[in-house]
Structure 1
């Protein structure tokens, strides 16, 4: 294991002329980035500020890494597309759930992209080991060089106090100290001699009162954290340095590769497949009847969906894990056994896909009875994602050259982008209103909890036959109209909210006290 001295590293990097200039420039850029983050985000609702800040971060990153980073036509270059598309969702939509999810997704993608672009990854991006590089980008890089800026500033100050200059600075400080008591005496005399001068003098403390320490201190800390962490992260991608530790694999380490015997694998797969085939035969006895809602008499729709859905999803995830383990860890001895295991694994995939379809139908039935929500729609999307992943897994079973992690990662990023831009709020509102027209049932309170993207669709309920539904909707839209007209800062500008404001401006809305159920505190 190689010892590493942080103090020595800081000294070496700050003393090197080229590195010193680059670090000074990066420090200035990240300080400006911190000020920009403070202006954009402190006490501000996310909006157009998110894509602007992402653009600013990449400007700082590319400006300071131009000699080692180039936007290339490879995975690292293409990753900038989902990064900027996800950041634009804060401008286009107003979905709070995806706002929260994207606050995690965007940094992960940025760390992935910058690590690859700077060539600091130890593993290929389509390798599972690359997850470790991304993890390092979160827990190590933002903090590895936090003290380097202070070292640079201290060196600047020491240089400024060098021989020939220190005596002059000391004399200036001495003059200031002597002048302070004289200024107090002279100003007091002048204030007594002139009332106008005294008036202006008395207003000086008001200038200091403008500085709100309750706001200033948190803002200063926020700016400093953003600036220092950004500096440390980018500098860790620039500086060539030795690793903190060098790990060597123990000689007696045990590898999981080829650790599962073929007979054991075939036995496990055979037992599972027998159970799943029997289960599917029972499913088919009423699965197609489910499309016409022909369920067993002792079961209601809700019981049918609730009693089976979660279990089927868990079984699907278990099968997913089993398949991955068998694909990568089973020995390759006999061609006959290899082909047998391939057939059994394919049968397991087929059974799992049918169970996914069954779970999909159960959730559909549940939605028909109780309406559409975020969780239910996202569950549908998750099952579709699993279906696609199983198809790739099936391809890998018959073609060992298929890199599963690569296709899993690309599919996950694509699916996340699609679900962000699907505008689920609009779909949920539309489908629930259509269901209301068919069944006369609707949960307007839930629809009122959706984002502003749903407001254009909600206006359709103003003409609902049920007076309670139309009145409650009008009350909600009336209050929302007032809130949207109050406006927000430009940093929080959002196209979805602006479109809702313009739509509501065309309606003459009134508040009905009889249906006073709107809770403005929710928004």
Structure 2
């Protein structure tokens, strides 16, 4: 009886359904323990090799490259077309208010595309947008070519900044030239927009062309009839309408293309500006306090020693210094200005490098940087004042010229930059790059509005009234801006010599109203009322070696030539 029982138990335990761990915990076998995790399964990918190229990192251009702009809008296309037509009709005879008239539709097209792209106007954007047209007022007022050139270039730079909205040093510099890389993309963008509209609405374009043709025919027929019926009306049409001839065809086509390309580049930039601020310049390796500050402190001491002598001159010790040092007034007035101008420029370079290498440990380092560089800026301002004082003495001795007034203006602007750097050290440098750009634009605008040729003529005529020398050969090469001042020369022969070349130039010019500056129109009226009389003797006899600008009459060794610093 015992055996069957044992066999039954044995058989029951051997059957898988006879017992379970819950019913018989003693016989249940626990899971084996694994003290270490199982190794991961090997990947099927081949192992990396040392010479395998790494994935390409986004480059500089990837950070600044703009997104693709949306298709150009119909209103912007009409603005671009208006810009091209006005360029072809108005820009062929010269510069005046016509440049502002051409810029307005181009600016309107860029503004429309900026709105369609969802861009919002900010304070700095409005500053650039207002400054550009303001600079284009200079060609409408001044006849001189060199202030006009500076104003036009600055207006284009401000317009580009308005479209990009840059704020860093590199962004402001690149943003002022940023529209140049949009010429080819802008043309393709505009052609795609024209093609899309021409394909979808052929009947609409046919209606527009027929309407324009009918209007042109009506204006031509009835305008010709009215002009032949009334001479006054014919003169009015001749003054108002552009003078277009067949011989000017190639030039007009070129101006049309330039207007279209420029307006498309501006609109394309407004729709998708390049992010020039994405290019960052890493700061230089910070130096220790002594290593960084000691050379600058030595430079401050050198500036202070030089300024100690300059203050004597500025406070009225001019004659005493000349007695002790030996040079004549003309030599002392001339020497040193160019060296001081270069010293100012190099000081700005030193400040830029010093800021890159300045210690950046904490509040004490910041205080050290502000103290050393602030002292250098203040001392440099005194150097600027000394340079301007020397130029004033030089102009008082020899008269005003284009080069002298230009370099004096540059030195004055460098002083403004130093003041802005000092303000940035006190209030923060966030707006410093844009503030420097604004100061340059304001300087160019003021330089054009004061009419340098007019100032040169007024100063030299006043010197002649005081019994000093006057250089007629130099003054007769000035622009029409100088006519009101030259007309007040008391000697009739000298007045005729000074105005003869300008009057001849104005008589040869037949520019229409939109290509004539206000100064040129004023000069025409003045010379019409008081024409230049025939000269009784040759003009070179009235302008001997003692009357040349830049000569020291007290120096017999001076050959009487123009100032060697003056290329005009």
Aligned counterparts of 1:280 and 1:228: Cα–Cα separation in 2: 53
Structure 1 residue 449 displacement after superposition: 2.2
Contact persistence 1:313–1:359 (CA under 8 A): yes
**Equivalent position to 1:278, from 293, 301, 305:** 305
1:39 aligned to 2:89? yes
Contact persistence 2:83–2:260 (CA under 8 A): yes
Superimposed CA distance per residue, residues 81-115 of structure 1 (whole angstroms, 9 cap, x where no aligned partner): 32222112222221211111122111111111133
**Equivalent position to 2:256, from 223, 242, 254:** 223
Contact persistence 1:262–1:331 (CA under 8 A): yes
Superimposed CA distance per residue, residues 362-383 of structure 1 (whole angstroms, 9 cap, x where no aligned partner): 1112112221012212222222
| Residue of structure 2 equivalent to 1:130 | 171
Aligned counterparts of 1:136 and 1:426: Cα–Cα separation in 2: 32
Change (3 A) 1:323 1:489: same
Query: How much is the aligned-residue C-alpha RMSD, in angstroms?
Result: 3.6
| Residue of structure 1 equivalent to 2:184 | 143
Contact persistence 2:463–2:469 (CA under 8 A): yes
Once the two structures are superposed, the pairs formed by residues 328-367 of structure 1 within 5 Å of their partners are: 328-333=356-361, 335-336=363-364, 338-367=366-395
Superimposed CA distance per residue, residues 429-464 of structure 1 (whole angstroms, 9 cap, x where no aligned partner): 222122222242111222222222221111110x23
| Residue of structure 2 equivalent to 1:511 | 534
**Equivalent position to 1:67, from 116, 120, 124:** 116
Structure 1 residue 233 displacement after superposition: 3.5
Change (3 A) 1:99 1:290: farther
1:375 aligned to 2:403? yes
Superimposed CA distance per residue, residues 468-517 of structure 1 (whole angstroms, 9 cap, x where no aligned partner): 5244236456546645xx64223313211111222222225322252256
Once the two structures are superposed, the pairs formed by residues 97-496 of structure 1 within 5 Å of their partners are: 97-116=146-165, 123=166, 125=167, 127-131=168-172, 134=175, 137-151=178-192, 212=246, 215-238=248-271, 255-257=282-284, 259-284=286-311, 286=313, 288-289=315-316, 291-292=318-319, 295-296=322-323, 298-333=326-361, 335-336=363-364, 338-400=366-428, 403-461=431-489, 463-464=490-491, 468-473=493-498, 475-476=500-501, 479=504, 482-483=507-508, 487-496=510-519
Change (3 A) 1:508 1:305: closer
Change (3 A) 1:133 1:298: closer
Structure 1 residue 313 displacement after superposition: 1.3
Greater shift in the superposed pair: 140-149 or 81-90? 140-149
SS in 2 for 1:514: coil
Aligned counterparts of 2:275 and 2:303: Cα–Cα separation in 1: 50
Superimposed CA distance per residue, residues 263-322 of structure 1 (whole angstroms, 9 cap, x where no aligned partner): 222111122122222223344455545645852464233432443111111111111222
Structure 1 residue 230 displacement after superposition: 2.3
Change (3 A) 1:236 1:422: closer
Aligned counterparts of 2:201 and 2:504: Cα–Cα separation in 1: 61
Greater shift in the superposed pair: 339-348 or 291-300? 291-300
Aligned counterparts of 1:476 and 1:235: Cα–Cα separation in 2: 46
Greater shift in the superposed pair: 274-283 or 357-366? 274-283
Superimposed CA distance per residue, residues 379-416 of structure 1 (whole angstroms, 9 cap, x where no aligned partner): 22222222222223223334446642243233222222
Contact persistence 1:143–1:229 (CA under 8 A): no
Aligned counterparts of 2:276 and 2:58: Cα–Cα separation in 1: 6
Superimposed CA distance per residue, residues 233-271 of structure 1 (whole angstroms, 9 cap, x where no aligned partner): 41343259xx8999999xxxx932562332222111122
Change (3 A) 1:450 1:363: same
SS in 2 for 1:488: coil
Aligned counterparts of 1:271 and 1:79: Cα–Cα separation in 2: 40
Change (3 A) 1:405 1:512: same
Higher helix share: 1
| Residue of structure 1 equivalent to 2:555 | none
Superimposed CA distance per residue, residues 28-62 of structure 1 (whole angstroms, 9 cap, x where no aligned partner): 542332121011112x1101201111222223333
SS in 2 for 1:147: helix
Unpaired runs of 5+ residues, structure 1, are 4-11, 14-18, 117-122, 162-209, 519-523
Aligned counterparts of 2:410 and 2:332: Cα–Cα separation in 1: 20
Aligned counterparts of 1:456 and 1:423: Cα–Cα separation in 2: 12
Superimposed CA distance per residue, residues 136-175 of structure 1 (whole angstroms, 9 cap, x where no aligned partner): 62331222232344455666788899xxxxxxxxxxxxxx
Contact persistence 1:142–1:230 (CA under 8 A): no
| Structure 1 length-normalised TM | 0.72
Change (3 A) 1:440 1:58: same
Structure 1 residue 68 displacement after superposition: 4.0
| Structure 2 length-normalised TM | 0.67
Change (3 A) 1:386 1:159: closer
Change (3 A) 1:516 1:390: closer
Aligned counterparts of 2:460 and 2:245: Cα–Cα separation in 1: 51
1:86 aligned to 2:135? yes
For the pair shown, the structure with the greater C-alpha radius of gyration is 2
Contact persistence 1:79–1:113 (CA under 8 A): yes
Greater shift in the superposed pair: 106-115 or 299-308? 299-308
